[in-house]
Amino acid sequence: MLKKVLVLLLCCVAAWSAKAQELQCDVVVNSEQVQYTDRQLFKDMQTRIFEFMNNRRWTNQPYRTSERIKCRLLINLTEMPEIGVFKANVQVLSVRPAYGTAYESTLFSFIDKDWTFQFSNAQQLEYADNGYTSNLTSMLAFYAYMMIGMDNDSFGKLGGAAAFDQARSILNVASSQGSYPGWKPFEDNRNRYWMIDNLQDPQFQSFREGIYIMHRQGIDIMAEDPEKARKSVLDVLANVQRLQQQKPGAAILRSFFDAKADELTNMFKTAAPAEKQQAYSILSQVDPTNNSKYEVLLQR
């Protein structure tokens, strides 16, 4: 009898693990710039956003607890123009593990400067697919699907398509609601609109395929076969260089280098001189913002 109970418990645990939520999201709300006496409001905001991101099932994909996507939202409140209305800039970051190692590779990094939303202590964060409840939950859901999509692209070629479709749906609905910034193409060339537009543009299909190649045939084998891994990554970078020439200043390419500059530097600084030079030649041309990091590749 005891054996049957133990088997039943193990089955329940296994079933629960397979149905774990997709995100393991750290949430930080920085309210130092906002002068408001009720500081509990900001603690409640952080807690509600944490629960919204982590307690929801975003897809029908089976996830084990160990497979949840590690990510972070750093919400920097900059202004409260009226009670309950906030402006903020937000850093969205996600990582994925490198196969067989403890290393975590930054996969998605984006700073969204256009968060405007309403929040009160009594507010519960509600969200429904294909509906609209608030700008705050629309933005949170949009980035949940963006991070899931990027993660899926890194494990399966074009695997993030369904998540990106959902992010696009959120954008379409939210852009028709009021005048909240960040959803429309004419407001900025690096906002939510352009991030998802780039990812769904057929011209960027090779970039998404490159995300898969870079991680599965590069980062995931770096520990066991660094030469083969670097060769795969160089091929991806050469394609990114071609895309940069066709679509200069594309939002998703800026995000790519924000996520990968340090990692690429570390990957190639131990390479053979010819590989170092090839990597530097590409990186310094497509990502001059981080050229000071790449200059280490010129050292012998």
Residue 3 binned pLDDT confidence (cut-offs 50, 70, 90): very low
- CA–centroid distance for 94 within its chain: 5
pLDDT in tens, 236-250: 999 999 999 999 999
Asked whether residue 283 is domain-assigned, the answer is no
Asked whether residue 205 is domain-assigned, the answer is no
Structural domain containing residue 173: 19-200
pTM greater than 0.75 (yes/no)? yes
Between residues 68 and 11, the one the model is more confident about:
68
pLDDT in tens, 105-115: 999 999 999 99
Asked whether residue 164 is domain-assigned, the answer is yes
Helix or strand holding residue 96 (H, E) = strand 85-97
Task: Flag whether pLDDT at 130 surpasses 90.
Answer: no
pLDDT in tens, 132-141: 999 999 999 9
pLDDT in tens, 23-70: 999 999 999 999 998 999 999 999 999 999 999 999 999 999 999 999
Q: What is the pLDDT of residue 27?
A: 98
Task: Flag whether pLDDT at 7 surpasses 90.
Answer: no
Asked whether residue 216 is domain-assigned, the answer is no
Q: What is the pLDDT of residue 299?
A: 87
Contact 76, 100 (CB under 8 A): no
State the average pLDDT over residues 113-123: 95
Asked whether residue 250 is domain-assigned, the answer is no
State the average pLDDT over residues 148-160: 98
Q: Which residue in the block uniquely carries the two structure tokens 């949840």?
A: 68
Between residues 123 and 229, the one the model is more confident about:
229
Asked whether residue 150 is domain-assigned, the answer is yes
**Nearest CA-CA partner of 26 in 102, 81, 82, 104:** 104
Cα-based angle 107, 199, 22 (whole degrees, multiple of 5): 50
Between residues 16 and 219, the one the model is more confident about:
219
Task: Flag whether pLDDT at 14 surpasses 70.
Answer: no
Q: What is the pLDDT of residue 13?
A: 41
Please tell me the total number of residues recorded for the chain in this structure. 300
Asked whether residue 221 is domain-assigned, the answer is no
Average pLDDT, the chain: 93
Burial 95-125 (b: 16+ CB within 10 A, else e): bbebeeeeeebebbbbebebbbbebeeeeeb
State the average pLDDT over residues 149-176: 97
Q: What is the pLDDT of residue 19?
A: 66
With a pLDDT cut of 90, the percent of the chain lying above it is: 89
Task: Flag whether pLDDT at 256 surpasses 60.
Answer: yes
Number of separate domains in the chain: 1
How far apart CA 230 and CA 265 sit, in angstroms, is 11
Asked whether residue 28 is domain-assigned, the answer is yes
